[in-house]
């Protein structure tokens, strides 16, 4: 049985809630896309979701926009409510991949309490080395329109300075500078250290070495998903040699 069929069959008794953790530059977005391709479940990025709600002009979106426009962090209860509304939609019936949520103990407890008893959480933490990740991030460029990400060394655009997807100019985000990266990493570590401890105690935590090629990281994630989702022999397409 393929991992997709197994995931769907098991989802009749509960959804597969895959939580991706990892500091700035860990490659969560890349791995989330691979997981969604494997399992046919939506990738929910907290940042993108909040921006989409704001652009859509929903009640929550307008509240979020006012907070972000004022330069403040969006409060936990607003993020919790936004996620809660998103994950009850029909495309989440078999499961979801969460990127950027929960970020702290309070969010994790609130999220756990909102899930049906049969839903299963699988936490995958993509661990990285800050000193080695800085060059990866400082050479990153992002499309200001579609948010496609490029790297000047490892995955440059076909035409310098322009997005391959929509032909819009690429930008060097202000938070991709070394000082900002170090501060983001410190903040992330402070926030998530207690969260990691909680997930370890719950027995749902899996750490993956993120300082290798994306395909190698993906292979380790496959192994975790086989163990946590699949029943019996390794799933079709998930060879682990």
- Residue whose C-alpha is closest to residue 131's, from 27, 211, 191, 213: 211
What does the alpha-carbon distance between residue 218 and residue 163 come to, in Å, rounded to a whole number?
25
Domain spans of the chain, in order of start: 3-41+94-229
Q: Which of 103, 182, 200, 223 is catalytic?
A: 103
- Architecture per CATH, domain 3-41+94-229, reads as 3-Layer(aba) Sandwich (3.40)
What does the alpha-carbon distance between residue 107 and residue 84 come to, in Å, rounded to a whole number?
11
DSSP one-letter code for 162: B
Q: Is the pTM of this model over 0.85?
A: no
- Residue whose C-alpha is closest to residue 119's, from 214, 201, 7: 7
Between strands 140-143 and 170-171, the pairing is antiparallel
Q: Which of 173, 182, 200, 223 is catalytic?
A: 173
Between strands 205-209 and 120-127, the pairing is parallel
What does the alpha-carbon distance between residue 105 and residue 220 come to, in Å, rounded to a whole number?
26
200 is catalytic: no
72 is catalytic: no
What does the alpha-carbon distance between residue 207 and residue 155 come to, in Å, rounded to a whole number?
26
Q: Which of 10, 140, 141, 222 is catalytic?
A: 140
86 is catalytic: no
103 is catalytic: yes
132 is catalytic: no
What does the alpha-carbon distance between residue 144 and residue 165 come to, in Å, rounded to a whole number?
12
Per-residue pLDDT at 68: 63
What is the tens place of the pLDDT at every residue in 79-124? 888 899 899 999 999 999 999 899 899 999 999 988 998 999 999 9
Q: Which of 34, 184, 200, 223 is catalytic?
A: 184
Per-residue pLDDT at 71: 54
What is the tens place of the pLDDT at every residue in 196-214? 999 999 999 999 999 998 9
- Low-confidence residues of the chain, pLDDT below 70? 1-12, 67-73, 230-241
Between strands 149-151 and 43-45, the pairing is unpaired
Per-residue pLDDT at 127: 94
Per-residue pLDDT at 72: 63
- 41-42-45 Cα angle (round to 5): 145
């Amino acid at each position: 049985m393929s991992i997709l069929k197994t995931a769907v069959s098991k989802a009749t008794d509960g959804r597969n809630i895959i939580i991706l953790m990892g500091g700035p530059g860990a490659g969560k977005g890349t791995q989330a896309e691979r997981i969604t391709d494997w399992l046919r479940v939506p990738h929910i990025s907290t940042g993108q979701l909040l921006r989409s709600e704001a652009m859509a002009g929903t009640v929550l979106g307008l509240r979020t926009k006012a907070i972000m426009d004022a330069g403040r962090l969006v409060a936990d209860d607003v993020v919790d409510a936004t996620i809660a509304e998103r994950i009850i939609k029909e495309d989440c019936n078999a499961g979801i991949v969460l990127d950027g949520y929960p970020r702290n103990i309070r969010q994790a407890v609130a999220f756990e309490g909102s899930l049906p008893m049969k839903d299963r959480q699988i936490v995958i933490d993509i661990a990285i080395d800050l000193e080695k990740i800085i060059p990866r991030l400082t050479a990153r460029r992002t499309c200001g329109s579609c948010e496609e990400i490029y790297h000047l060394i490892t995955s440059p655009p076909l035409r310098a300075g322009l997005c391959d997807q929509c032909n819009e100019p690429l930008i060097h985000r202000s938070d991709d500078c070394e000082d900002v990266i170090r501060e983001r990493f410190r903040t992330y570590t402070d926030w998530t250290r207690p969260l990691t401890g909680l997930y370890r105690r719950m027995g749902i935590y899996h750490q993956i070495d993120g300082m290798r090629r994306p395909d190698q990281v993906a292979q380790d994630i496959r192994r975790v998903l086989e163990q946590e989702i699949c029943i019996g022999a390794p799933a079709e397409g998930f060879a682990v040699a």
